Amino acid sequence: MFSVTVWIFIVVAVLAYYALKPKKRGIKLPGPWGLPLVGNAFQIGKRMHITLAKWGTKYGPMCKVKLGPIEVVLVSDHQMAKEMLALDAFIGRTTPAEFTLYEGETVGIINSEGEIWEQQRRFVVRQLRDFGFGKTSMESIIMEEVNELGDRLASLKGEPVSNMKGFLSLATVNSLWSIVAGKRYSQDDPKLRALAHQLSGAFNEAGENAGAFFIMKWLKHILPDLSGYNAIRKMFAELAEFVGNTIQEHKNTFQEDSPRDFIDVYLNEIKSTTDPSSSFHGVAAEKQLIGVVADLFQAGADAMASTLNWAILHLISNPEILRKLQVEIKEVTGNSRPVSFSDRPKMPYSLAMVNELLRQTLAPFGVPHSVLSDTEYKGVFFPKGTVVMINLHFIHHDPKLWGDPENFRPERFLSPDEKSLVKVEYLNPFMVGRRQCPGESVARDTIFLFLVNLVQRFDLLRDPSSPELDTEPEIGFVLQPKPFKVIFQERKL
Ligand code: HEM
């Protein structure tokens, strides 16, 4: 045991150390007071987007929130968000190592930074923009899924559907899988169900159960099962193995001069890369490919299915919107053919509907950013590593910008005569700046084609035996509709 003198010496030494240690400049911003270790976790509660919307109003365009021990700068002003995300200093990522594909290794786009991110992102943006392998176009791939989904819904002959999201997930995973891996399944094939679970469902389940762990990562050492840590690592290991096997199958049948899909084009890029410093060089690049494929599914498949699921719920809650869509579709196609991409310029109401759906904001804060190097913005000092979150749901529901944000009203994106679409600069569901979602056009194209073609073929009705419809989102990281039932009644066109 130490003597009293030694104790006094230790205490004085520790106090002197902290007193004399050079102070790192903190972030000087207003914000709610938090507890040590857990920060504002208890004040935030289960509906984080609602609490952070209140703080956005109370503390202004930039404030400081503590998620566990992590200080986060919350940006609640669209103009500021736009300016900040255009600056190189703010495009870092902050995803904890435990939540990445290979714990602590940088692969793919979403969680990478620097050269790897630049190279992988540039490649993906180019491939998604110039999409087309052989004779396959993006439109034909999406329409194949739209038509099969329509046939499946028609075969129910008016039976209420209680798992609309399930139907939509199979269709959107199938279309992304066709783009990425050149293969589609029948939508009732159990192999597709397994694929959808592996590529996006398991990620959501593991993520939803790990909310507390995300904030308090030390939980993994004491409660690896209960905290969700083990489930997350298992999910990533299975995902990497699954995508790795698909890539191996491609390598076995690969023909350099006739790429069939995204994976083949990527394998070609690896083959032609001679620069050893490139992330496309050699065997290591195959890990990058696994990371990129995993990113495309985790970022894309569920977001599209969930947005369409919201569309169905809003259509049965607002039959007037359904009618307006059907009128526009009839005017453009005469209902004698399906709607195609080329019809879009003549369909302002349908495009406004897509915008209004995206305004609902599935991921209320997008994907958090981090500061790459000490920097100053608007007189505020941001130390390297500061986490920055955009209060996107708040911006998309700020009464000062939208007037009646609580109403679902596609007309807000139309000119007063409702004949043309109006660009609204504070609608940014795909975020802005250098990290802006590279899947925006795939997402918009997919949502548009599914929505208008389903609405052309069916009347959507609420199930009279179901309780009142509720358009408040379910509690969770991602804002999903609460369970509902819908009846698809085929129209006589
Ligand atoms: C409704 C559909 C979608 C929405 C609302 C959406 C939204 C977003 C948002 C908010 C971000 C974060 C941007 C940032 O960090 O500032 C993002 C990133 C990303 N999205 Fe999407 N997305 C959708 C669909 C897709 C699709 C279909 C794909 C792929 C085909 C995709 C691929 C990605 C990727 C790879 C990133 C990471 C970009 C980077 O870190 O550089 N997304 N998305």
The pLDDT tens digits for 33-61 are: 998 878 898 899 889 999 999 999 999 99
DSSP state, residue 216: -
Cα torsion angle, 310, 315, 321, 323, sign: positive
**Would you say the CB of residue 109 lies under 6 angstroms from ligand 1?**
yes
Alpha helices by DSSP H, listed for 33-163, are 41-44, 48-59, 78-85, 114-129, 138-155
Which residue has its alpha carbon closest to ligand 1 atom 20? 437
Cα angle 436-142-240, degrees, rounded to a multiple of 5: 60
3-state secondary structure of 150: helix
Q: 299 CB less than 6 Å from ligand 1? A: yes
Two structure tokens written together for 40: 């504002």
Cα separation of 211 and 232, whole Å?
Answer: 11
- Closest C-alpha to ligand 1, atom 6: 430
Which atom of ligand 1 is closest in space to residue 392's alpha carbon?
10
* Angle 113-118-122 from CA coordinates, rounded to 5°: 140
Q: Name the residue with tokens 């394998």.
A: 267
* Contacts with 128 (C-beta within 8 Å, 6 or more apart), sequence order: 438, 439, 441, 442
- How much distance in Å is there from the Cα of 403 to the middle of ligand 1? 28
pLDDT for 340 equals 96
The residue whose C-alpha atom lies closest to atom 30 belonging to ligand 1 is 439
Residue 24 has what pLDDT? 59
Distance 357 CA to ligand 1 centre (A): 16
Over the range 15-52, which residues count as b (16 or more CB within 10 Å of their CB) and which as e? eeeeeeeeeeeebebebbebeeebbbbebbeeebbebb
Beta strands in 137-282, from DSSP E residues, in sequence order: none
Question: How close is the Cα of 431 to the center of ligand 1, in Å?
Answer: 8
The CB of 443 under 6 Å from ligand 1? The reply is yes
Ligand 1 touching residue 311 (CB < 6 A): no
Q: What residues form DSSP beta bridges with 459?
A: 489
The C-alpha angle 90, 94, 99, rounded to 5 degrees, equals 155
- What pLDDT is recorded for position 217? 75
pLDDT of residue 203: 73
In the beta sheet, which residues pair with residue 71?
66
Question: Atom 25, ligand 1: which residue's CA is nearest?
Answer: 300
Question: Would you say the CB of residue 435 lies under 6 angstroms from ligand 1?
Answer: yes
**For the chain, which residues score pLDDT lower than 50?**
1-2, 6-7, 10-11, 14-15, 17-19, 22
- Ligand 1 centre to CA of 106 (Å) is 18
Cβ atoms within 10 Å, residue 135? 6
Confirm whether pTM is higher than 0.95: no
Helical ranges in 345-439 per DSSP H: 348-359, 392-395, 399-402
Ligand 1: which residue has its CA nearest to atom 24? 300
Q: Is the distance from CB of 181 to CB of 220 less than 8 angstroms?
A: no
Query: Measured from the CB, is residue 401 less than 6 Å from ligand 1?
Result: no
Q: Tell me the ipTM for this assembly.
A: 0.99
Which atom of ligand 1 lies closest to the CA of 443?
27
How far does residue 63's CA lie from ligand 1's centre (Å)? Answer: 25
The encoded tokens of residue 189 equal 């094939």
Instruction: Report whether 411 contacts 370 (CB < 8 A).
Output: no
What's the confidence (pLDDT) of residue 155?
Answer: 98
- Residue 442 CA: nearest ligand 1 atom is 27
**Which atom of ligand 1 sits closest to the CA of residue 435?**
41
Q: Are 113 and 246 in contact (CB under 8 A)?
A: no
Rg value, the chain, Cα: 25
* 173 close to ligand 1 (CB < 6 Angstrom): no
Measured CA to CA in angstroms, residue 38 lies from 222, 232, 236, 384 at distances of 16, 22, 27, 22
Atom of ligand 1 nearest to the CA of 117: 41
CB-based contacts of 277, cutoff 8 Å, min separation 6: 115
Cβ count within 10 A of residue 149: 23
Residue carrying the six token digits 């194949």: 144
By most ligand atoms within 8 Å of CB, the mutation choice from 290, 437, 479 for ligand 1 is 437
Residues in a beta bridge with 380: 377
Q: Taking a C-beta distance cutoff of 8 angstroms, is the pair 443, 452 a contact?
A: no
Is 325 in contact with 318 (CB distance < 8 Å)?
no
